[in-house]
Amino acid sequence: MGSPMRIKAGSEEYPLYLAPGLLAAAGSLLREQGLAGKVLVVTNPKVGALYLSRLQAGLEAADFIVTTVTIPDGESYKRLDQLTKVYDAAVACRLERDSLVLALGGGVIGDLAGFAAATYLRGVKLVQVPTTLLAQVDSSIGGKVAVNHRAGKNLIGAFYQPTAVLSDPETLGTLDQREFKTGLAEIIKVGLIGDRELDAFLRQESAAVKQQQIGALLNIIRRACAFKARIVDEDVRESGQRVILNYGHTIGHALEAETDYDHFRHGEAVAIGMVGAAKLSVALGLATPELTQATLDLLGEYELPTAIPGLSAKKLMTRMAWDKKVKDGKLRFVLSPDLGKTLVKGDVPPEAILAVLRSMGAV
């Protein structure tokens, strides 16, 4: 399988394996990390039908004792009542402090299972096995785990690092195009805010990326993971530099919450949010209009949304007031003075935000 990427998060460190065939090899790889005993696999019906048997066979071949709990598919199920189902399953199989919670699925499963692992018995071991592009490059790395509240996204959560991450790009072959593109949005974000080589690759090799050629996929996944890992190591608990990873997320999370998490996929909302961040950067005199055009060009190349479909600008502003970046009652925006650069601004006039939202289609 080759040597794993090492992810550092302050004093903690864990391996990230990225290679085809990892699902079947999961048991042996986890054994190599000194893990053993009981495993509670958290998944959803769609992912479970595709990959659970292969994963479970590999785990049982390595003498793990496997129990499974299934959560319905979708962001709207990342909530406390579904979390209780995981706790109930953990109690029923008598999960112990050295046991594993294994998240098999996308970001919803990873976040919910991760929060369960962080809080059951005050913390059991967590293994992330992300099966979507979005989860492989974003939510499975860095230890942010959470569930949603009706007032906003990820309001109830913790920082809890996994023991290992196993990313098998073969799972991406079963994603529909919409789900694949939602992961591309987070990779595009990395190019826009910090990795200019990744940005150039996405623009020049879009055909290979869209055709999901394995070499192109491994390249962009590795680069996105490496960038996030570097930021996380510098700022484990998002008290400083890590906030730049939320570029596009202030508007994006508001869009998700305002539409009850059932209209936009996460990456779609972030894509729209990145256009808003670029437009706001220009409106405040921090950047030239070329920033907005470069953002629109790249998102357009990958057929990601860039406009707000007639939602209330004022209601979106209310949602933003619950954003995790609010400090001392003031909303902070991650903005950009130019491609590859970011800054955090805490005194953005509300009228400027409203004007940008309305320019993008809000009413």
d(CA 277, CA 140): 25
pLDDT at 10 (0 to 100) = 84
DSSP assignments along 247-307, one per residue: TTHHHHHHHHHHTTTSSS-HHHHHHHHHHHHHHHHHHTTSS-HHHHHHHHHHHHHTT---S
d(CA 244, CA 238): 9
The answer on pLDDT for 205 being more than 70 is: yes
- Name the band, by pLDDT with cuts 50, 70 and 90, for residue 274: very high
Give the pLDDT mean for 28-50. 96
Give the pLDDT mean for 132-136. 95
- Name the band, by pLDDT with cuts 50, 70 and 90, for residue 241: confident
The answer on pLDDT for 29 being more than 90 is: yes
pLDDT at 239 (0 to 100) = 75
pLDDT at 27 (0 to 100) = 96
- Name the band, by pLDDT with cuts 50, 70 and 90, for residue 1: low
Cα 320 versus chain centre, distance:
19
- The percent of residues above 90 in pLDDT, for the chain, comes to 84
CA distance readout (Å), 12 to 44, 264, 300: 29, 34, 39
The answer on pLDDT for 360 being more than 80 is: yes
d(CA 201, CA 115): 35
**pLDDT tens-digit series, residues 305-324:** 999 999 999 999 999 988 76
d(CA 206, CA 203): 6
- Name the band, by pLDDT with cuts 50, 70 and 90, for residue 294: very high
The mean pLDDT value of the chain amounts to: 94
137 with 221: CB under 8 angstroms?
Answer: yes
165 with 16: CB under 8 angstroms?
Answer: yes
Q: Rounded to the nearest 10 degrees, how much is the dihedral formed by the CA atoms of 239, 243, 249, 251? A: 80
Encode 194-219 in three state secondary structure: CCHHHHHHHHHCHHHHHCCCHHHHHH
Residue position matching structure tokens 């949010």: 273
DSSP E strand boundaries for the chain:
5-9, 12-18, 38-43, 65-70, 100-105, 125-130, 144-149, 152-159, 164-167, 333-335, 343-345
Give the pLDDT mean for 189-205. 97
- Name the band, by pLDDT with cuts 50, 70 and 90, for residue 329: low
Residues annotated as catalytic (active site), given as ranges: 122, 144, 186, 228, 238, 242, 246, 249, 253, 266
68 with 52: CB under 8 angstroms?
Answer: yes
Round the CA-based radius of gyration of the chain to a whole number and report it: 20
Domains and CATH numbers, the chain: 5-174 (3.40.50.1970), 177-359 (1.20.1090.10)
The answer on pLDDT for 328 being more than 90 is: no
The answer on pLDDT for 268 being more than 70 is: yes
14-28, 103-117, 226-240, 287-301: the lowest-pLDDT one: 226-240
The answer on pLDDT for 208 being more than 90 is: yes
Give the pLDDT mean for 147-171. 92
Residue position matching structure tokens 């790889």: 29
DSSP 327: B
- Indicate the pTM of the whole model: 0.90
